[in-house]
Chains A and B, each alone.
Chain A
Amino acid sequence: MKSKDRNYFKILRAGINTTYQDLGRNNLYHIGIPFSGAMDKRNFQLLNSLLQNDYNSPVIEFAYQGPHLKYFGKDIYFCISGNVSFKIITKEGVIDGNSYQCYLLKNDDEIDIRSTNKSVYGYFSINGTFGVDYYWGSCSINTQAQIGPNNGNKFSKDLEIEIIDINNSFNKRKLDYLGSTIENIRVIKGTNYDYFSETSQNKFFKESFKITKLSDRMGMRLEGPKIENIFDPNIKSEGLVKGVIQITSAGDPIIMLSDHGTIGGYPKIATVISADYDRLVQLTPGSNIKFKDVSLEDAETLYKLYQMETNNLISQIK
């Protein structure tokens, strides 16, 4: 490809944990490969809808501080989802951008994604397709197992992001949405709930836990009242799913997130319901959370409501 025909971004600053993500890869737990995929599926879906891309198109996910990108090529549009502060730097000057709004980008323009404010993950994409390789049907980067494009590594400075296709019939759209936050994380009691003392079971639901800095795409470590195991601090290793809350031998909860190890040997006290997962992962270290017990039937209904809410937001894009 001649360089003048290329459309690409050059990374001037990579950000803290910037990767390609899509909906992730299925049916590989039995060989030790987790789902991965965008942590916050609602913001992933909204972004591809805003850009009129295919529902599973690759996007760029960033955490806390995003990348600073410089664009080379013909005119395109871009959009960012999540609670994100960013600047668009053009020849005419610098403007502050808004999430859920599409912007025109010309050759030599720059985007500086400063911060995900009081959240963790944000998403960036264009009206087109990034040139990515697929591994087991997904372009999601899993840095722990080094699976995915860019040799399974997060983005680094000077990396060039190719655009292989631009949708020319695109029309600019936006969504008025402020995001939604959550204080109580709803859970279903786990298969080893009985391993813990009654006092600890009560504490688990009455007191609050703080999210520690030891949190990433694999898991979220919490600190708070120690949860006392009165039966056995270990179980025979068995499968995990995202959202499972294990209690370590030290009595602290760990919540399994999208890149988690596929099997584990700590008892499971509870599992976060599917409806609350997107909002759970957006909670920053230092935040306090409380767990609320719900039934399986309620969790199934709450998920349907959450999906309806997402579809409703998509229908409001104009």
Chain B
Amino acid sequence: MIKNILNLGDAALYCDFGSDVNQEINSNVIKYFYHIKKLNLKGITNLTPSYNKLIISYDLNIHSFLSLKKKIENIEIKENNKLEKNLIEIPVCCDNNFALDIKRVENKLKLKSEIILEKFFSKNYFCYMTGFVAGMPFLGDLNQEMRLKRLETPRVKVPKGSVGITEQFCNIYTFETPGGWNILGNTPQNIFDTSNQSNPNLVNPGDTIKFCRITLDQYNEIKR
């Protein structure tokens, strides 16, 4: 399933699974990720799965590129190895104060806001990867008619909990950070829990997300 293994600098393997972004390729990345994680190999310092790549960082005192590459190439993963998938419901409020870019999305997609939100909430989304900042899930895929580019000028601060879309993807801002996604709403739910050290992420690669629309009152109720 790995097409090619290159080096990323002198202390990481760059495992290439292809150039397309789809759930089949990504599921292979995730299978390798969980499999290698379970092996608990000495000297592996990080595993970073993304849409179609897996980066394996290692301790240069323990491995060299060629020896670790051989080890990874010899790993056999059965095609029918099923991924563990959770279905997670996440409440989202699309009150005007939260839907920061709804006007822009209306203009770009040439759809009314109610139609946009109806389409957005009518679908489940697959988690391709988490990261950039702690716990941020990259979800997909949006229907064709819902796809638009990111903001021309990114916001300096996107509020924590913001739910945004760009191209075929949506995400949730787990922290207040700079960002350029089109914001449709906000979730009162904590997506990343620093105090839960064994499992801080609410959403993990391979999970399925169902967004549920809530009112401002319900939002405030959950926040309380």
Contacts and interface: CB of A to CB of B under 8 A. Distances in A.
Interface of A: 26-33, 35, 135-136, 144-147, 152, 188, 190-191, 236-241, 243-244, 261-264, 268, 271-274, 296, 299-300, 303, 307
A209 to B, nearest CB: 18
Contact of B46 (A29, A152, A237, A271): A29
Given A27-B46, A29-B57, A32-B131, A299 B10 contact: yes
Nearest to B201: A31
Interface string B40-65: 00001111111111110100110011
Given A135-B197, A238-B53, A264-B132, A30 B48 contact: yes
A273 B45 contact: no
Interface string B179-213: 00000000000001010010011001100000000
A145 B175 contact: yes
A29 B61 contact: no
A271 to B, nearest CB: 3
A29 B10 contact: no
A274 B52 contact: no
Contact of A30 (B33, B45, B175, B192): B33
A146 B200 CA distance: 14
Given A30-B131, A262-B131, A236 B52 contact: yes
B148 interface: no
Most buried by B among A35, A237, A261: A237
Given A28-B46, A33-B134, A300-B60, 5 more contacts: A30-B48, A237-B132, A261-B131, A271-B8, A271-B10
Nearest to B203: A31
Interface string B19-41: 10100000000000100010000
Contacts of B60: 274, 300, 303
A274 B50 contact: no
A34 to B, nearest CB: 9
Given A32-B136, A236-B21, A27 B44 contact: yes
B129 interface: yes
A38 to B, nearest CB: 15
Nearest to A260: B132
B133 A236 contact: no
A30 B61 CA distance: 23
A299 B9 CA distance: 9
9 contacts: A30-B48, A32-B136, A32-B174, A188-B10, A190-B8, A236-B21, A238-B55, A239-B49, A262-B132
Contact of B10 (A28, A146, A300): A300
B132 A261 contact: yes
Interface string B104-137: 0000000000000000000000000111111110
Contacts of B11: 241, 274
Contacts of B50: 236-239, 263
Contacts of A241: 8-9, 11-12, 46, 55, 57
